[in-house]
Chain A
């Protein structure tokens, strides 16, 4: 009888809870409004420069692939992707597109779309499956109707590489042993083609080693040209056939990553083509013809910059920079002859505006905004700050102040990034930062030692510094902000994800005088557990790198325990927020459960959030809503802040 009554009461509780859910908090409603997919994404220009393609995301969740004809101004939807299966697409020629479609977690298929026009209007779209278990490697723009693909046979871990003729009736007959471009070649993860569509270079990162092979033209053999630890960057980006050289991004015998020539005959380095003082070159993009570099990118003062290697650079400067007076420009795509350029303008307060430049009309026009709803909010401006850590290392950080910071000093949320190595924060537009800023928080992103882009020595300075000098770096950045008198020094919390979650917890333990609360999402709470449990399946080479950077749980267990929040929970007196996701296969949920348990036993139970279907990060939009609105509630309670007010225009 008691059980029946208990069940009845439980049902009443469910009903009461459901009705309460309807009354969402201000910050949750704001999160729903703020965190949305971009309205338009993945814009591209067809090779002729006369059509712009893009995805439009409508309110029903459908993704529409659309074409805008620049001559007629007609826009047509060519495909509606109701289940978000199209992962990428590429123009092959002005009438043909290839799409990569994902149906299951671990398989994808290639489709061809042929556009049939009549009197300038799109009349028909012919769709054809090219191949299952394949993806596009290179559109081979110099070869008509040919593409390079990676194809996975059943049960094989590494793909086979083929050149496929799209005009042929049958694709499967183009597969087979002798047609494999990587026949008799080592297994690889990436491939480089020359301007004639020939596979010339392969690269693999295996067991902590970076290995590169080159195909000798005369003998056709694959010859190893590089084999060193992955710590040394060596990435071929362009094949210079006439000189028998490669252009490579590398930091061999150097502190910073540069773009240099590499002689294939004797495996020696040649002249430096491009470098930036005190910064790594992050990336290089080739032109469509694969015979030159389009641009190299690097980060300066937290903003990504591009250095152009063709006359496109002066073209941009003359026509786009002149009109927009901005350096915060990305070239997203262009026609082969540069007559039409698609560029993205973005900064810390602007999610992004796409511009179209047509040289024949000398016309620069706004194509669309990526997140037009952002214009309703007052967003925070980001500035660069520097600090000196405990051992003298200079640390660069980025502080975003809310729009109302001049009226009163805002509370500060310090957000160390994940990693901790080879990841960085920037001053580029960040939805999560601006959500907090639009609720009146200042947000600090420190690029502590180990962060990407600052050279090899800066990265190596992070070796075995979990809970030590890394957190000294973060503290120095926080202190610099406190000393600037721009924030309320008595209202500072620290929040992060993954390594950032670990850093938040350990920082709060180390410096309760600074951090009044700590929040962790998918954070590491037990370093020994991470090394023993989460990284167990990695090969010996990777484990060696992990031991070097993170520690050896067999030899250093006592030391690692002393820097693991689980074992120090008694010392953590401030309010704690713990969030994790059930399907996290990078940092297992055991980290969350251990910390939750130890905090409860220590008499300081955490505020918790568990995301049932999420992984290590944010795969679902609703995860942002749940996490960030919960964080706001937690910060307000911990810092005794008033109810939230959204800063609107």
Chain B
């Protein structure tokens, strides 16, 4: 075994041992009019300051903050209904300046009794006024994330893709067993 491989093996053993904290995951039961919503965002290039979500089941807009490049997720419990990504704030300094993306209809349908996932919102912000936003179905990444952070939750509630069209993948993947 090369020195490099030995290093990697030892490191992964130690990290696993030192970060083993899965035992304390609590899974609150959902009420009859509640559901889980997994918000997912992938950020290219310039990192937005805040991303807002609005929907019938929210008293005020929900936001994602502390955003970093790449994938991030936020799990919230909400009432069933439709939820839409509405605003993207680019710059902490220009706190009132945002892109209004509500009419782009990046909408997630939330059904009761499941963890709802409607796709990753992909943001590509350049400098100046260049910006592109789109929703992409990345169910396998969402499933992998939940498997890593919240395996007990996944044992209690299935992850369901509730985007605009049907996709049988999550049902297929979860019937076979999660990662």
Contacts and interface: CB of A to CB of B under 8 A. Distances in A.
A601 B4 contact: no
Interface in B90-138: 126, 130, 134, 136-138
A136 to B, nearest CB: 24
B34 to A, nearest CB: 28
Contact of B18 (A3, A566, A583, A598): A3
Contacts of B164: 536
A517 to B, nearest CB: 23
A554 B11 contact: no
A106 B15 contact: no
Contacts of A620: none
B43 to A, nearest CB: 12
Interface residues of B, number: 35
Given A2-B14, A20-B4, A528-B168, A601 B139 contact: no
B27 to A, nearest CB: 24
A597 interface: yes
Contacts of B2: 16, 20
A557 B18 contact: no
Q: Which of A20, A528, A536 has the most CB of B within 10 A?
A: A536
A134 B126 CA distance: 21
Interface string A587-614: 0111001100110110000000000000
Interface residues of A, number: 37
A590 B7 CA distance: 31
B41 to A, nearest CB: 15
Given A533-B137, A583-B44, A2 B18 contact: yes
Nearest to A16: B4
Given A104-B130, A533-B137, A557 B8 contact: no
Nearest to B18: A2
A597 B173 contact: yes
The interface residues of chain A, by DSSP majority, are classed as helix
Contacts of A553: 165
B14 A601 contact: no
Interface in A539-572: 553-554, 557, 561, 566-567
Contact of B11 (A10, A536, A588, A598): A10
B165 A597 contact: no
A598 B2 CA distance: 30
A649 interface: no
Contacts of A9: 7, 10-11, 14
Contact of B134 (A20, A537, A594): A537
A263 B139 CA distance: 54
Contacts of A536: 164-165
B44 A590 contact: no
Contacts of A593: 138, 140-141, 144
A532 to B, nearest CB: 5
Contacts of B144: 593, 597
A6 interface: yes
A13 interface: yes
Contacts of B163: 532
A258 interface: no
A566 B169 contact: yes
Interface in B3-44: 3-4, 7-8, 10-11, 14-15, 17-19, 44
B136 A594 contact: no
Contacts of A601: 176-177, 179
Nearest to A526: B169
A590 B8 contact: no
B4 A13 contact: yes
Contacts of A537: 134
A12 B7 contact: yes
B11 A6 contact: yes
A589 B165 CA distance: 19
B4 A597 contact: no
A133 to B, nearest CB: 13
B56 interface: no
B140 A528 contact: no
Contacts of B140: 590, 593-594, 597
B166 interface: yes
Among B11, B130, B139, max chain A CB count under 10 A is at B11
Q: Which of A9, A12, A20 has the most CB of B within 10 A?
A: A9
B14 A6 contact: yes
A588 B136 contact: yes
A16 B6 CA distance: 10
A557 B167 CA distance: 9
For the complex of A and B, the 4 pairs showing the least CB-CB separation, nearest first, are A13-B7, A16-B4, A6-B14, A2-B18
Given A13-B7, A532-B167, A594-B140, 5 more contacts: A3-B18, A13-B8, A590-B138, A593-B141, A594-B169
12 contacts: A2-B18, A16-B3, A20-B2, A106-B130, A528-B169, A529-B169, A532-B137, A557-B168, A593-B138, A593-B144, A597-B173, A598-B173
